[in-house]
Amino acid sequence: MKIGNIDLGERPVLLAPMEDVTDLSFRTICREQGADMVYTEFVSADAIIRNIDSSLRKLTINPAERPAAIQIYGREVGPMVEAAKIAQEANPEVIDLNFGCPVKKIARKGAGSGLLRNIPLLLEITREVVKAVDVPVTAKTRLGWDHDSKIIVELAEQLQDCGIAALTIHGRTRSQLYSGEADWTLIGKVKENPRMTIPIIGNGDITSPQKLRDYYDRYGVDGIMVGRAAIGAPWIFREMKQYLLTGEVPVIPAHEKMELLRRQIDESISRIDEYRGILHIRRHLAATPVLKGLYNFRQTRIDMLRASTRDELLDILDRVEREFLTAT
């Protein structure tokens, strides 16, 4: 699959943009583990043009994580164009437009998936951003606003006509948020549309190497994006890539997984500070599958989420690793 001149190979696996998840450290680790391309946390166009430090820091790209995309969101043409120009200065391989975020505080204000209720504006933003920057522009969206407005087949053509280089489709409507099962049938119909010439990337509920390959075979998409299944488990990309190549899921030792979690803790603290870095990393620790099934897992999880210092947190992980390795 190629986005512009960026060749991601056959059946690439991409890390989805996720707020408070896909920071620089996590993206770099996911690339090392096999992700073919990574996306930043989605960044507010308004915050970028107002020079909000916390938002500008999200535009930083580490050479080790490339190819990388910066994703921006907003509800007005001017700020989106200006933000895209500023984002381009970070030299990303791709600028991605967020037309799919379902979070109430964003969608209700007309940004993210809120633009699915104002298609003329969504298309105008897309056209103007494409014209304003020199890097490939892509978009990520959903099937539609709700069950009665699944417009993705027509919208995909319109977005392609605006000049985007690839389209990612999450297989839910905005009203579904993340509930129910992602419906890939319409993603498949977009891919089957003979008018579509740009790459189509599917997203939603890809939780295992087996499901990844099955959905590639079933829906014929050019790429697949993995989101929540990677939280606390960056090694899933290594598992997925090897399964695509060999049909076998590699056995990754528990101590390797634990070392990746420890690295995330240290890099999160180093990037921010001890208190906020630990708050940030808790989402990964709460979700990581490596701890599930352990004796007294519930209490251990509570202890991790209550830990307030690096030493305290690492002591818990050391104890958990000993218990895990003993149990296996």
Label residue 64 by pLDDT band (50, 70, 90): very high
Label residue 180 by pLDDT band (50, 70, 90): confident
Note the pLDDT tens digit of each residue in 82-136. 999 999 999 999 999 999 999 999 999 999 999 999 999 999 999 999 999 999 9
Same domain, 212 and 281: no
Same domain, 230 and 323: no
Same domain, 221 and 275: no
Same domain, 66 and 151: yes
Going along 48-188, which residue ranges are E strands?
68-73, 94-99, 137-142, 167-170
pLDDT of residue 179: 87
How far is it, in rounded angstroms, from Cα 273 to Cα 131? Answer: 39
Residue 73: pLDDT over 60: yes
Identify residue 285 by its one-letter amino acid code: L
% of residues, the chain, pLDDT over 90: 84
pLDDT of residue 297: 73
Note the pLDDT tens digit of each residue in 253-301. 988 999 999 999 999 999 889 999 999 999 999 899 887 766 667 788 8
Same domain, 224 and 202: yes
Least confident window among 50-54, 184-188, 320-324: 320-324
How far is it, in rounded angstroms, from Cα 63 to Cα 45? Answer: 24
Same domain, 144 and 262: no
State which of 246, 271, 302 marks the end of a domain. Answer: 246
How far is it, in rounded angstroms, from Cα 87 to Cα 74? Answer: 14
Same domain, 299 and 221: no
pLDDT of residue 326: 53
Q: Which residues lie below 8 Å from residue 284, measured CB to CB, with a gap of 6+? A: 21, 26, 231, 232, 261, 264
Same domain, 209 and 63: yes
Same domain, 267 and 233: no
Same domain, 42 and 158: yes
Q: Which tokens in the block code for residue 220?
A: 């014929």
Same domain, 166 and 273: no
Q: What pTM, to 2 d.p., does this model score?
A: 0.94
pLDDT of residue 88: 97
Answer whether 45's CB lies under 8 Å from 83's CB.
yes
* pLDDT averaged over every residue in the chain: 94
Q: What is the CATH number of the domain that holds 87?
A: 3.20.20.70
Longest dimension (CA), the chain: 60
Which of the pair, 81 or 179, is modelled with greater confidence? 81
Mean pLDDT of 72-82: 98
Number of other residues whose CB lies within 10 A of the CB of residue 309: 12
Q: Which tokens in the block code for residue 21?
A: 């998840």
The kind and range of the H/E element at 132 are helix 119-132
Same domain, 81 and 99: yes
pLDDT of residue 147: 87
Q: Give the range of the structural domain holding residue 157, as residue numbers without chain letter.
A: 2-246
State which of 202, 225, 246 marks the end of a domain. Answer: 246
State which of 201, 219, 246 marks the end of a domain. Answer: 246
Answer whether 283's CB lies under 8 Å from 313's CB.
no
Q: If DSSP codes are grouped into helix, strand and coil, which group holds residue 13?
A: strand
Residue 7: pLDDT over 70: yes
SS3 content of the chain, % helix, strand, coil (to 5): 50, 15, 35
Q: Which residues lie below 8 Å from residue 313, measured CB to CB, with a gap of 6+? A: 265, 278, 285, 304, 307
Indicate which residues carry an active-site annotation: 101
The tally of domains found in the chain comes to 2
Residue 183: pLDDT over 60: yes
Residue 18: pLDDT over 90: yes
pLDDT of residue 99: 98
pLDDT of residue 325: 56
pLDDT of residue 91: 97
Identify residue 182 by its one-letter amino acid code: A
Answer whether 303's CB lies under 8 Å from 316's CB.
yes
How far is it, in rounded angstroms, from Cα 280 to Cα 272? Answer: 9
CA distances from residue 159 to 79, 123, 237, 247 in whole angstroms, order as listed: 19, 7, 29, 36
pLDDT of residue 302: 87
